Amino acid sequence: MTHELAASPTAIPHVAEGHDARAWLVIVALALGGFAIGTSEFASMALVPYISAAFGVTQADASDVISAYALGVVVGAPVLVVLGARLPKRWLLIGFMGAFALFNGFSALAPTYETLIAARFLSGLPHGAYFGVAALVAARQVAPNRRSSAVARVMLGLTFATIIGVPFSNILGQTVGWRAAFGVVSCLAAATALSVYLTVPAGRVSKQSSPLQELGALGNRQVLLTLATGAVGFGGMFAVYTYIASTMITDMSLAEEMVPLALAVIGTGMTAGALIAGWAADRNQTVSAFALMTVALLAMIAYPSAIVSLPTYLLVVFTIGAAGGLSTVLQTRLMDVAGDAQQLAAALNHSAFNLANALGPFAAATAIQAGYSFANASGYVGAGLSVLGIAVFALTIFDARRTRAKRRI
């Protein structure tokens, strides 16, 4: 078997056995939502210097907009998915994107730093819930042995955002202003809601679906350990990403016009990593996850030294981005181990990664305030979190095998 635990026999049935035109339209529509979400989430990191200047706060304090968004994801994913357990997935997706459009519009218009923090928290609420439901809908469009690849293609929307949307947002921050970036995201989210309405089948909700059934994921040890792996192990990438602009401008003494290049490079790495991870996870989830986390660890260790030259820096940044394919691997694993609570488990994956989004920048900011450079703080904090992630996932696999062995007795 390629998975430690087989998929639940009660898992959501697949509606298609191959890649027909309708399936691709659905996945493209879902990926557009990922593009909007990715642009909003990662643009905040790229816009930290401009938000700092606009409101007269330090860059470490300005990174609170990232933590506020991440906290919104953590809170919103379980709450919205549980409340929407009996609703058709099509309408859940439309509702999530409608709310995302509204709250990003609030972000663009925020008159004070405090209202921007509140708007970013609200913007984060639909994030995890959208991706959780979108992953399940995408997985239904393909044969069972290609689920990871389908989920990866939805996540390509997010990674393409890091190649196109985030650098464009950084350019907007340098020229028009940071508010314009959130305005663009609001329009993208509205377009996604319309696309989902036009392409995703209406579907029906199982009579057995209920909030209580979804909450069962919280009592599943394998779900919790897999979530913990993402919450800890992914923090390093966010620590690096948050301070890419600061590292290049301050530590490397480069012009700010060079920042979009690095953002596009790390986004290209994420895209390559998502595609490779989807292919690899369809064959062996465990090996794929360990390999990606090991690559992340080595790249984090190299990061502080990589600032000596731009080509070396870009190579390491690309590698860190590629290791982000871990998200796809863990997403599919959660669908395998969650039993009848797949929707909540899939959504909680993004809560876990946004805990990492809060943890990584916070830990790096603490190191920066203690006197470390942006590169040293990001790299060494990232390496430490990568080690912890590997340890947690090793415990996850050990627990899965021990449980399986007990069942055979």
State the average pLDDT over residues 223-246: 89
For residue 18, pLDDT over 50 is answered with: no
Tokens of 75: 């809170």
What's the confidence (pLDDT) of residue 247? Answer: 93
What's the confidence (pLDDT) of residue 171? Answer: 84
Percent of the chain with pLDDT over 70: 90
Please name the amino acid found at residue 146: R
What's the confidence (pLDDT) of residue 297? Answer: 95
State the average pLDDT over residues 32-56: 86
Is 371 strand, coil or helix? coil
For residue 12, pLDDT over 50 is answered with: no
pLDDT tens digits for range 24-33: 889 899 999 9
What's the confidence (pLDDT) of residue 114? Answer: 93
State the average pLDDT over residues 30-54: 87
State the average pLDDT over residues 26-50: 87
Q: How many helices (H) and strands (E) does the chain have?
A: 19, 0
Averaged confidence pLDDT in the chain: 84
What's the confidence (pLDDT) of residue 204? Answer: 58
pTM of the model: 0.74
Instruction: Find out if CATH 2.60.40.10 is the number for domain 21-408.
Output: no
What's the confidence (pLDDT) of residue 288? Answer: 92
Q: Are 90 and 198 in contact (CB under 8 A)?
A: no
**Which of 9-23, 143-157, 199-213, 323-337 reaches the highest mean pLDDT?**
323-337
Separation between Cα atoms, residue 390 and residue 388, nearest integer Å: 5
Give the HSE-up count for residue 223: Cα atoms under 13 Å, Cβ half-sphere. 25
What's the confidence (pLDDT) of residue 23? Answer: 79
Q: How confident is the model at residue 384 (pLDDT cuts 50, 70, 90)?
A: very high
pLDDT tens digits for range 315-372: 999 999 999 888 888 888 887 887 766 777 777 887 888 788 778 888 998 899 898 9
